[in-house]
Amino acid sequence: MANLSVNINKIATLRNSRGGNNPDLVKVALDCERFGAEGITVHPRPDERHIRYQDVFDLKAVIATEFNIEGNCKEQKFVDLVLANKPAQVTLVPDTEGQITSNHGWDTIKHKDYLKEMVQLFQAQGIRVSIFVDPVEEMVKAAAESGTDRIELYTEYYARHFHQDPEQAIKPYIAAAKIANTLGLGINAGHDLDLQNLKYFAANIPGLLEVSIGHALISDALYLGLENTIQMYLRQLQN
């Protein structure tokens, strides 16, 4: 059964919209753990429009499960933040400045030497590294050559095509996962996974270790309640 890491960016967005500390981001993270989440994910961006840099320090001090920090390692402030906090995992995402949300994986062929350097930097501090990639076999192979511990499959394509044809939508992800397994890479996944498409994905991706889910889970929680929603997502991951 793959682990569920809850991305709490949307909680921070809500808090920031009014100022103050309501909802309390740290309390929500601890409640997510208490309700069954096996990890907490944050994705700080330079404008701090949701997760603030101080949030990362506050969360690191209290989180008992896996702490995963996502972001663009080309931003020195992000690199410094990760090294200062030493989370269980850093996920390297090729965001551009002002980007609303992540929308593509790394070109691991073009940036292989750079990624190798960053992987070594984080691993030297005992931080597991995951590289955000599209479900393209060549990109998975090049990611492995960087020395990364894991890849995170970018699942927007799967989610967008799931309702039309689940079998075709997941096909490139199965192929990418098989290559990753052969190369000894751990497999994470994330982006637009939800209660409708998660179970099929988890059941068909060999070696899936972790999914990171934020927007859909928090949106569902508005109707279903946070504790109930986390339990519902966990059930989708059961074999």
Closest CA to 27 of 51, 53, 8: 8
The stretch 7-25 carries a mean pLDDT of 96
The mean pLDDT value for 215-222 works out to 98
* Catalytic hit among 66, 111, 191, 210: 191
Q: Check if 111 is active-site.
A: no
Candidates 70, 111, 152, 210; catalytic one: 70
What are 78-117's pLDDT values in tens digits? 999 999 999 999 999 997 655 445 557 899 999 999 999 9
70 among known catalytic residues: yes
Q: What are the pLDDT digits (tens) for 50-76?
A: 999 999 999 999 999 999 999 999 999
Task: Kindly report the three-state secondary structure assignment for every residue of 94-154.
Answer: CCCCCCCCCCCCCCCCCCHHHHHHHHHHHHCCCCEEEEEECCCHHHHHHHHHCCCCEEEEE
pTM above 0.85, yes or no: yes
> What is the SS3 assignment for 213?
strand
Of the residues 33, 43, 66, 210, only one is catalytic, namely 43
**191 is an active site residue:** yes
CB contact at 8 A, 40 and 231 = no
Report residue 181 as tokens. 């397994």
The structural domains of the chain, ordered by start, are 3-236 (3.20.20.70)
Q: Are 206 and 178 in contact (CB under 8 A)?
A: yes
pLDDT above 70 (res 166)? yes
Chain segment 109-155, per-residue pLDDT in tens: 999 999 999 999 999 999 999 999 999 999 999 999 999 999 999 99
Which pLDDT value is given to residue 95?
Answer: 72
Which tokens go with 222?
């508005």
- Cβ(105)–Cβ(150) under 8 Å? no
Q: What is the pLDDT of residue 103?
A: 57
Q: What pLDDT is recorded for position 98?
A: 54
Q: What is the mean pLDDT of the chain?
A: 95
